Structure 1
Amino acid sequence: MEASKVIHAIYNDDDVLMNAVKQVKAAKYHIDEVYTPFPVHGLDKAMGLAPTRLAICAFMYGCVGLTVATLMMNFIMIEDWPQDIGGKPSFSYLENMPAFVPIMFELTVFFAAHLMVITFYLRSKMWPFKNAENPDPRTTDDHFLMEISVTGNQNELESLLGQTGAVEINIVDKAH
């Protein structure tokens, strides 16, 4: 296993962290990860992360749910076991569609929501029973941590992070 050094710069305010990320990126350093106790609006853009494509997945999953609902209701209510419920004709899906709209909506939302959660967990590599990768437990409470790989001048990077308002700077050996 190969070990490399990373710097953990800890901040106690999200606005200070946001300015620090902008300064570190302006100085041409690559930020490996930022750990925060809550979502910080605009942090992904400041870090230069690519926009997420999860919304596209949500749309596709919703289309799958709508298709499953339509095929299921057509098979169950029209082909397999047609019933006269409330005087509605049971020989055509299109004539019954107004009664089927709530089911189509619910299955669209159901498929989109559940498959999105599964996709998010798989994409984030958050398997069941996986150990947490959080480097400092304070980041789940009230601190923010910026992790940067040490590739060049360590003293220069530490000095920059100190100027950005870091309350604590640690050098850590990180195993790959």
Structure 2
Amino acid sequence: MSDIKYILGLFEDPDDMMNGIDKLQDNDISVYDVYTPMPIHGIEDKLGVKRSRLDIVAFICGITGTCTGFGMIYFMLVMDWPMNVGGKPNFAIPDFIPITFELTVLFCAFGMVAAFFYRTHLFPGRAPRVMELRATTDRFVIAIDANKGFDNQKIDNLLKEAGAIEIKHNDRKYVSYE
């Protein structure tokens, strides 16, 4: 078994890269990941990326904010310190809609930022993890896991046929900026 972990095909043109993905998938070779310097429409469907569940996280965070807002208002104005203001009931729901709305938005915003940082591993102060440094500027990169039992020479030939300008065999997962 070789110590090559990933085979990287570097492309100059996104159309060539999409053609390379098609050629690899036609030959039953699974693509580990694709790195691009800009968004490419339709690549998620081609790679089989699942739909994000971020909307569920947003809903849960929003409901938590709503419940916290109503719970705080109920505790403060009904149980802890009830006051008679102009003969209104202690828990007049229409009066507390603005505060509840603001807490819903606040909890949702902070929850979404935390979920985004957790899911993408982009915590503040963490060094970026990049497989190929030029993928952030001008290259389109297809990464194939070399330990899946595919023939490396066949993969190299398929990438060259698709228009890869360079093929790299990495022995580690990420490249550091140092």
Alignment partner of 1:131: what SS? Answer: coil
| 5+ residue gaps, structure 1 | none
Task: Give the deviation of 1:77 after TM superposition.
Answer: 3.6
Does residue 1:120 correspond to 2:127, yes or no? no
Task: Give the deviation of 1:30 after TM superposition.
Answer: 1.6
- Whether the aligned pair in 2 keeps the contact of 1:4 and 1:175 (CA below 8 Å) is no
Tell me which moved more, 139-148 or 72-81. Answer: 72-81
Partner of 1:51: 51
Counting strand residues as a fraction of each chain, which structure ranks higher?
A: 1
Alignment partner of 1:148: what SS? Answer: strand
Q: Which runs of 4+ in 1 moved over 6 A?
A: none
Q: Distance in 1 between matches of 2:82 and 2:162?
A: 70
* Structure 1 residues 131-170: aligned runs within 5 Å: 131-150=127-146, 151-170=149-168
Does residue 1:101 correspond to 2:97, yes or no? yes
Superposition TM-score, scaled by structure 2 size: 0.80
AA paired with 1:56? I
Does residue 1:76 correspond to 2:76, yes or no? yes
- Whether the aligned pair in 1 keeps the contact of 2:82 and 2:90 (CA below 8 Å) is no
Task: Give the deviation of 1:67 after TM superposition.
Answer: 0.6
Could you list the per-position Cα deviations for residues 44-98 of structure 1 after superposition, in whole angstroms to 9, with x for gaps in the alignment? 221112222222122111111111111112223443345577x582x332x3x22
Q: Distance in 2 between matches of 1:88 and 1:163?
A: 81
In structure 2, the CA distance between the partners of 1:100 and 1:40, relative to structure 1 (3 Å rule), is farther
Task: Give the deviation of 1:15 after TM superposition.
Answer: 3.5
Does residue 1:60 correspond to 2:60, yes or no? yes
- Whether the aligned pair in 1 keeps the contact of 2:4 and 2:169 (CA below 8 Å) is no
Does residue 1:11 correspond to 2:11, yes or no? yes
Alignment partner of 1:4: what SS? Answer: coil
Alignment partner of 1:31: what SS? Answer: coil
AA paired with 1:113? A
